[in-house]
Amino acid sequence: MRILVTGGAGFIGSHLIDRLMTDGHEVICLDNFYTGHKRNILKWMNHPYFELIRHDITEPIRLECDRIYHLACPASPIHYQFNPVKTVKTNVVGTLNMLGLAKRVKARFLLASTSEVYGDPEVHPQVEEYRGNVNTIGIRSCYDEGKRIAETIAFDYHRQNDVDIRVARIFNTYGPRMLENDGRVVSNLVVQALKGIPLTVYGDGSQTRSFCYVSDLVEGLMRLMDGDYIGPVNLGNQDEYTILELASAVQNLIDPQAKLKFEPLPQDDPRRRRPDITRAKTFLNWEPKVPLSEGLKLTVNDFRARIPSPLKAEV
C-alpha cells in the first residue's frame, strides 16, 4: 500500500513511518522541517519504498496514494505559539489541502487531532462526547481551535464528499526523538535534570496529565486507520499523574538531588487531563501497554545520547 505521512519527519510521524516501512508499505514522507528533523528518518533515505518530499502543506500538492496519515502541525506550545497565524493556516488550509487530495485520489484519511480540543475540561475523564471548554482568543487558541476546525472540515468532507476519514484525539505522548526545546513537560524536566539545572514546575504542580508512550500511540493510530470505526476516538494513557509526581520520577531516574523551581501557571493551562478510552478499547481493541516507569527510562536514555551532560550513566 502507498501511504502518505504528513509531518513524517517529526516525533510521532517518524515512529509511525518506522512501523509502516517495517510492515512493507511504500511510504511518502511530507515535511517542511519546521519541527521535524532528517535524522529521524535517515535510516530509510535510500530505501526503494521510501520517498521524502520537502513541502509545506499550506500549499497544494498532487501525488498518488492509498492512505493519508495527516500529522503535520507543531504540537508543543513553544512552537505553535511562535507563529500562531501559521499554526492556524497549517490546521485549516493544510487540512483542506490534504482532504482535497484524499477526495481526488480516493484515499482513506486519518486526522491526528488532539486532546486540546477539550480545552480546560470541566468533565473528567474526558469522553469523546464532551464538547470542551476552550478559550477562542487565548494564546493556545491557534492550536486548540485550529484542531477543532480541522475535525469539522474532516467530517464535512466525509458527509458532503464521502471521503473515508478517521479522527484520533491524541493525548500527551512522549518517547525517543522528542525535541529537547519543545517546551513539553516530559522533555523539559528530562533535559533540565540532565543539564543539572532546577526542574521547572508550573503552578503548584497539582495539575494532572496522562502520558502515553509513542509506540503505544502508533499502534492505536494504525488500528484506527485499518479498522472501520471513524471516530473521533481518544488515544492516550488512562494513568493520571500530577506534574509533581512526574518531576519526582525524573529526579529519581537522573538526579535525586535536583532542585525544583516553581513558576506561574501559563494562561489556559488545563488543570486535569485524562482520556476515557472506552471507545478505543471497544472499537480498536486497543489500550496502552508501556508503563510510565519503563517509557521514561527509554526516553531518558535517548536524551542522554543527544545532550551533553555531567550525568551520563544509563538508567
The model's pLDDT over 293-307, given as tens digits with 9 standing for 90+, comes to 999 999 999 999 987
Residue 201 lies inside a defined structural domain of this protein: yes
Q: Are residue 126 and residue 70 in the same domain, yes or no?
A: yes
Q: Are residue 203 and residue 78 in the same domain, yes or no?
A: no
Residue 124 lies inside a defined structural domain of this protein: yes
Q: Are residue 137 and residue 183 in the same domain, yes or no?
A: no
Q: Are residue 84 and residue 146 in the same domain, yes or no?
A: yes
Q: Which amino acid is present at 21?
A: M
Residue 75 lies inside a defined structural domain of this protein: yes
Catalytic residue among 80, 118, 143, 241: 143
Residue 143 known to be catalytic: yes
Q: Are residue 89 and residue 161 in the same domain, yes or no?
A: yes
C-alpha grid cell, residue 79: 512552537
Q: Confidence class of residue 313 from pLDDT cuts 50, 70 and 90? A: low
User: pLDDT of 156-215, one tens digit each?
Assistant: 999 999 999 999 999 999 999 999 888 789 999 999 999 999 999 998 999 999 999 999
The mean of the pLDDT values for the chain is 93
Q: Are residue 269 and residue 126 in the same domain, yes or no?
A: no
The confidence score (pLDDT) of residue 249 equals 95
The confidence score (pLDDT) of residue 309 equals 60
Residue 284 lies inside a defined structural domain of this protein: no
Q: Are residue 40 and residue 151 in the same domain, yes or no?
A: yes
* Percent of residues, the chain, with pLDDT higher than 90: 83
Q: How many domains does the chain have?
A: 2
Distance CA 101, CA 68 (A): 9
Residue 281 lies inside a defined structural domain of this protein: no
pTM of the model as a whole:
0.93
* Residue 191's CATH number: 3.90.25.10
CA distances from 151 to 24, 91, 125, 131 (A): 30, 10, 21, 12
User: pLDDT of 55-100, one tens digit each?
Assistant: 999 999 999 999 999 999 987 677 788 889 999 999 999 999 999 9
Q: Are residue 130 and residue 256 in the same domain, yes or no?
A: no
Q: Are residue 109 and residue 17 in the same domain, yes or no?
A: yes
Average pLDDT in the 117-142 region?
93
Distance CA 147, CA 88 (A): 9
Q: Are residue 140 and residue 225 in the same domain, yes or no?
A: yes
Domain of 202?
174-209+238-274+290-306
Q: Which amino acid is present at 96?
A: L
Residue 313 lies inside a defined structural domain of this protein: no
* Residue 23's CATH number: 3.40.50.720
DSSP 280-300: IIIII-------HHHHHHHHH
Length of the chain: 315
Q: Are residue 140 and residue 193 in the same domain, yes or no?
A: no
Residue 133 lies inside a defined structural domain of this protein: yes
Residue 64 lies inside a defined structural domain of this protein: yes
Q: Confidence class of residue 310 from pLDDT cuts 50, 70 and 90? A: low
Q: Are residue 100 and residue 166 in the same domain, yes or no?
A: yes
